[in-house]
Amino acid sequence: MKFPYGISDFKAIATQSYFYCDRTDKIPLLEETKSQLFIRPRRFGKSLVLSMLENYYDVAKADEFEEIFGHLAIGKNPTPLKNSYFILRWDFSCVDTTGNAEDLKRALFDHINFCIKGFLLYYRDYNIPGVEVDRDNCINSINSLISSVRMTPYPIYLLIDEYDNFANTLMMGEASSTGKKRYEKIVHDEGILRTLFKAIKSSTSGSMFDRVFITGVSPIVLSDITSGYNIAENIYLKPGFNDLCGFRENEVRDVIEQLVTECDLGSEKIDDALNLMKTYYNGYLFAVGLNEYLYNPTLCLYFFKQFKESCNYPRKMLDSNLAVDESKLEYIAEIPLGREILLSLMQKDYYLTVEDISDRFGIREMISENSKNNVFLVSFLYYFGVLTLAGETDDLKIKLKVPNLVIQSLYVERVQKMLLPDPGTRDEGRLAAEKVYQKGDMEPLRDFVENRYFMVFKNRDYRWANELTLKTAFLTLLYNDIIFIMDSETEISRKYADLTMIIRPDKRYGKVFDVLIEFKFISLKEAGLTGAEAKQLTVNKLHNLPQIKKAFTEGRQQVTRYAKSLDNKYGNLRLKKFVVTALGFERVCFETVD
């Protein structure tokens, strides 16, 4: 079995025995609308969908139809429109966004003109009359192409990939306002993008761009060009297209079963691998009312390829090609309300709720502080794949959650950088955290949280101070998904352990400990102390405060009960158990439970 990691050429995948989850059965449904916008997070297989459409409708590939599609669903029941179009494809991710607005305009012109020249070369046997390519104005080139194609029997199917690349690159890639100003120049008023999409709209109504399929990550650009192109139907929230990209669980299991067989591993490895993939990669839902969560396809292919080559799991479950999504969290972290959202999402099973997902939002919402309300922030995180749909509340609001452990790791890293901006301080905290699972020694981490981390919370003056504050501090430092399956608030016998770190099945040969921590928080008011008085307490007096003693007693009982359940679930754990208690933002103490 070959895995097409990094390959989005549909013909190569279909004809060269690559692994492929058949989505050609969606083609008849796609034909119901002529102009469509399809949005999914980065690296979710959008370009492969475009390549599928390109190969299916291309008139020049009629003789290859059986070879490419014969073994697939659409090959057994094709539509009348197969192989009946000229295909013109633009990929805006290829457009250089550096330089000023005029440089960007030139880069866009050059890309479209290059695509038109390639189009004419590819269809040279179809007697298309002379087309004039205007180097200085690609709109003229498009109009000339359309005039010439009218003289042939075939209309054009226009495919646009990464249509919002300008917004993503300019808005996320620059801390200054320069990128925003350049973006506005190419989008608003008579900017080149608005003019370009006006030309597409005009050609669509004139039937020469008979069909248009546009992919992107967010709806920013189409919102900004408004009347420039207001005919695209948003299909990205429709139930029928939920799984147009992404893998279903049964498809993932089938591959794992085959790989385990090829590697001559025991059958128990199937469930181990599937559970690991489910924890790290599953969890995406794109249509309200459905209950079929999808796996990120790029991450799955990354895992499959690594497993096939080594008969073992990847060392890092997060493919570095997806790590760039952290820039979206950085953008959110700069917004006051966004910081609170990021901290809230550190909780297990925490949901954000909104009336609805915004299907369009533009540059002004991203720039204006007044527009950055809860609906905008949640919608923004949803489109970029760091939140996903999670059903509805009883009062019919939409719930959204963190999809999986890979995305959770991005949140953890962003929160850590937000609270501990100095890299040296972060490294100091990580070294203290390592002592917990390497030596079973909690003292260095306790000291770091009390004397370094808590100062951040006090200075930031967060509105809440509770057990979550304490848990957030420890989780961001202890987080290590190379060695552990990290789980905040693991459900154990219908109760929740605050933090478990279970060594991954493929890492159990290492000399490290599994970790179970129960957190308790005592406010200064509960203890009847001021901050200064709490600071003056000796360790012995701190431990002997009635409220602290009570917290430790409850914590010992909880971790003892949770430990037994964890042993029953996993077996053969090298478990270190701790109760960690904070007294306000002043003191932290712990007990090791034997």
pLDDT of residue 126: 93
So where are the chain's domains? 10-241, 249-315, 420-594
Long-range contacts of 366-374 (CB under 8 A, 24+ apart): 366/171, 366/180, 366/220, 367/180, 369/335, 372/335, 372/337, 372/338, 373/337, 374/337, 374/341
pLDDT of residue 468: 75
CA 582 vs CA 436, 507, 566, 589: distances in Å = 18, 32, 25, 6
pLDDT of residue 494: 45
Could you tell me which residue, 373 or 355, shows the higher pLDDT? Answer: 355
Long-range contacts of 393-397 (CB under 8 A, 24+ apart): 393/353, 397/353, 397/354, 397/355
Average pLDDT, the chain: 86
At position 343, the amino acid (one-letter code) is: L
Rounded Cα–Cα distance for residues 122 and 262 (Å): 42
Rounded Cα–Cα distance for residues 37 and 229 (Å): 11
pLDDT of residue 489: 47
Rounded Cα–Cα distance for residues 356 and 102 (Å): 38
Question: Which of 41-55, 195-209, 465-479 has the largest mean confidence?
Answer: 41-55
pLDDT of residue 323: 61
CATH 3.40.720 assigned to 10-241: no
CB 429 within 8 A of CB 448: yes
pLDDT of residue 567: 87
- Mean pLDDT of all residues in 162-172: 73
At position 360, the amino acid (one-letter code) is: R
- Mean pLDDT of all residues in 575-579: 96
Q: How far apart are the first and last CA of the chain?
A: 48
pLDDT of residue 176: 44
pLDDT of residue 461: 47
Q: pLDDT, tens digit, for every residue of 348-363?
A: 567 888 888 877 666 5
Rounded Cα–Cα distance for residues 217 and 164 (Å): 7
Rounded Cα–Cα distance for residues 158 and 161 (Å): 10
Could you tell me which residue, 377 or 517, shows the higher pLDDT? Answer: 517
pLDDT of residue 458: 63
- Mean pLDDT of all residues in 148-168: 88
Structure tokens belonging to residue 405 = 């452990």
How does DSSP classify residue 451?
Answer: I
Angle at 111 between CA 105 and CA 116, to 5 degrees: 125
pLDDT of residue 493: 47
pLDDT of residue 115: 96
At position 423, the amino acid (one-letter code) is: P
- Mean pLDDT of all residues in 232-260: 93
**In the structure, what pLDDT confidence band is assigned to residue 371 with cuts at 50, 70 and 90?**
low
Q: Given a cut of 80, is residue 136 above it in pLDDT?
A: yes
Q: pLDDT, tens digit, for every residue of 286-335?
A: 998 888 899 999 999 999 999 999 999 998 888 777 665 666 777 777 77
Residues 6+ apart with CB under 8 A from 407: 283, 385, 386
How does DSSP classify residue 463?
Answer: S
How does DSSP classify residue 85?
Answer: B
Q: pLDDT, tens digit, for every residue of 385-443?
A: 888 998 888 898 999 988 888 888 888 888 888 888 899 999 999 999 999 999 999 99
At position 193, the amino acid (one-letter code) is: L
Q: pLDDT, tens digit, for every residue of 269-289?
A: 999 899 889 888 888 999 988
